Amino acid sequence: MRGQKTDIDFSEVSWGSLKSLWPYLLPFKGRVLLALLCLVGAKVASVGLPFVLKHIVDYLDSGGDLGAIVALPLGLLLAYGAVRLSNVLFGELRDTIFGRVTERAMRLIGLKVFRHLHSLDLDFHLNRRTGGLSRDIERGTNGISFLLRFMVFNIVPTLLEITMVIGILLWNYQVWFGVITGVAVLIYIGYSVVATEWRTRFVREVNTAESQSSTRAIDSLLNYETVKYFTNESYEAGHYDRELEQWETARRKNRLSLFALNGGQAFVISAAMTAAMILAASDVLNERITLGDFVLINAFMMQIFMPLNLLGFVYREMKGSLANIEKMFGLLDVEAKVRDCDKAAALQVERGEIVFEAASFGYSAERPILGEVSFSVPARHKVAIVGSSGAGKSTLLKLLFRFYDLDSGRILIDGQDISRVTQESLRRAIGVVPQDTVLFNTSIFENIRYGRIDASDDDVHEAIRLAHLDGFVQQLPQGVDTLVGERGLKLSGGEKQRVAIARTLLKRPPIIVFDEATSSLDSKSEQSILEAIAELSREQTSVVIAHRLSTVVDADNIIVLDRGRVVEQGSHRALLERRGTYAHLWQIQQQESG
């Protein structure tokens, strides 16, 4: 199968994806360094706070001269306020400085993924699930923000602070204070890692169920008309409810596993603090340490375990963020099947001649579509391609536009093999009016201007006139500023096709392909559009893919496809005189119209 594999297995979330982020941080080395210096300053102030608090308590607890008792604690209290303010200010400066790094990284990566998705071939987009894909990108960019901010400014500084505090406790007090703290930290971290690894699958189940329910909802809403046509609102609601039921079950499992994790962490913290306080109280009673030391030890224990408690949350979220980031970067690993060759040159179109040489193609080995198709479209001629449904007419358009590459044979434009030129230059040279027109949810005017973004207002109005759309827009209260709705749902099929024709006319490419361009038009509108196409064909090469043969009787050449092969070609009159496949199709359609 030509389609890309989009279901990537992330059962093993690795920390290696962090390497993918470094290129986006390197341009901000100065900011990162300055933020790290602020981080160190905040932690030094944080570790100094309990010492100031200890001296305040010792002075208050001691007897002696009243002036000294008042003056010294006042100075220490002012110092305490200054140190605490420094801790907060350094933290705020750190977040402010590093904020731009995070936001720019999110922007650059998001833009890269967006560009990459547009560079992938048609098969990827035919097989994608838009709702799930959008959620993967959203969660991935949000995961980057969380990972950068919390790993750099929570995990690393917390571990640094723990190391400093354990060292102070071992140096100044009984070894058991350091042992209790160190063992508790190790047990806490070990339990958090093991429990988080265990419950990662529940987080993944929630994400999967969330993506599936989102995909289903968006898919149903995008096909609103189809749902209404078949009165399947209840079916869609039931299907969505089943997706939500899976999401609800996954969330419940996730919540219960979170309870087990949080409960275990709370037990370790409570046991460690209780043991340390009992030991400290005993030393105070035995006069081995002062009341200020008791307060210092209590402050250090709280100071360690409060961020350590957050560390458990951060680690859990980081695992989820890593999974989301890996999935988003996995999209960047998907390679397009249709790519420019190493020395691809820009297509140079002077005349607009198209030649198919023994072109063969199949969407899979088991599904051949075209077999050695050969024909030419002379410059500034109008050539029609007709045939029954499934004959391969629209596939020829996809191959010409290079949505797919041939299995064998060549397609030439002015003697240049389209597989040897850049896709951008090829697609700039070809205008397409598709059978199924999809419009952006903006005004009619802006939808037409999309054909050539830099076109002037006069050019857009001229395209509207050529597409015989001016009469329609004049009837609208807001004229060309009328919003078309999502995918153009506010317009009829014929109105959408005329907007598409105007958009392509504005592009003014040397080659235009009409893929059943008049299939949704009434007879009067169809005749007007056919006259416009005939006028354009005198200046540009036109390929008309048609089911209704009456729309192509004036073509310079009509190519008849049957089961992926050219069975006849010639003018309308010559093909009727031949009494072959074309004549048979013509007779059937004349009987149907009669």
Residue 446 lies in a domain: no
Q: Give, rounded to a whole angstrom, the gap between the first and last alpha carbons of the chain.
A: 44
- pLDDT, tens digit, for every residue of 175-206? 888 888 889 888 988 888 788 778 777 877 88
DSSP 478-526: TGGG-B--GGGTTS-HHHHHHHHHHHHHHH--SEEEEESTTTT--HHHH
Residue 473 lies in a domain: no
Residue 482 lies in a domain: no
pLDDT score, position 425: 92
Closest CA to 513 of 387, 426, 450, 406: 426
Cβ atoms of 521 and 529 closer than 8 Å? yes
Distance between CA atoms of residues 373 and 388, nearest Å: 16
Residue 569 lies in a domain: no
Distance between CA atoms of residues 138 and 190, nearest Å: 31
Residue 242 lies in a domain: yes
Mean pLDDT across 16-27 = 66
Residue 265 lies in a domain: yes
Number of domains in the chain: 1
Distance between CA atoms of residues 168 and 238, nearest Å: 62
Distance between CA atoms of residues 39 and 33, nearest Å: 10
pLDDT score, position 499: 85
For residue 91, pLDDT over 90 is answered with no
- Reduced to 3 states, what is the DSSP secondary structure of residue 227? helix
Beta sheet of 565-570, edge-to-edge order: 430-433, 511-515, 541-545, 382-387, 557-562, 565-570
Helix H or strand E segment including 412: strand 408-413
Distance between CA atoms of residues 4 and 284, nearest Å: 70
Among 54-63, 82-91, 146-155, 437-446, which stretch is predicted with the lowest mean pLDDT? 54-63
pLDDT score, position 132: 62
- pLDDT, tens digit, for every residue of 307-323? 776 666 677 677 777 77
For residue 8, pLDDT over 70 is answered with no
pLDDT score, position 412: 94
Residue 527 lies in a domain: no
For the chain, give the mean pLDDT.
79
- pLDDT, tens digit, for every residue of 389-438? 778 888 898 899 888 889 899 999 999 999 999 988 998 999 888 877 77
| Secondary structure, 3-state, 94-138 | HHHHHHHHHHHHHHHHHHHHHHHHHHCCHHHHHHCCHHHHHHHHH
Domain that includes residue 311, residue range: 15-333
CATH number at residue 214: 1.20.1560.10
Among 270-279, 282-291, 479-488, which stretch is predicted with the lowest mean pLDDT? 479-488
Mean pLDDT across 44-69 = 62
Mean pLDDT across 553-563 = 89
Please name the residue that has the structure tokens 């265990």: 198
**516 φ/ψ sector (left φ>0, alpha ψ -120 to 50, else beta):** left
Residue 532 lies in a domain: no
Mean pLDDT across 248-267 = 85
In this structure, the dihedral spanned by the alpha carbons of residues 310, 315, 317 and 320, taken in order and rounded to 10 degrees, is -170
For residue 11, pLDDT over 60 is answered with no
For residue 324, pLDDT over 50 is answered with yes
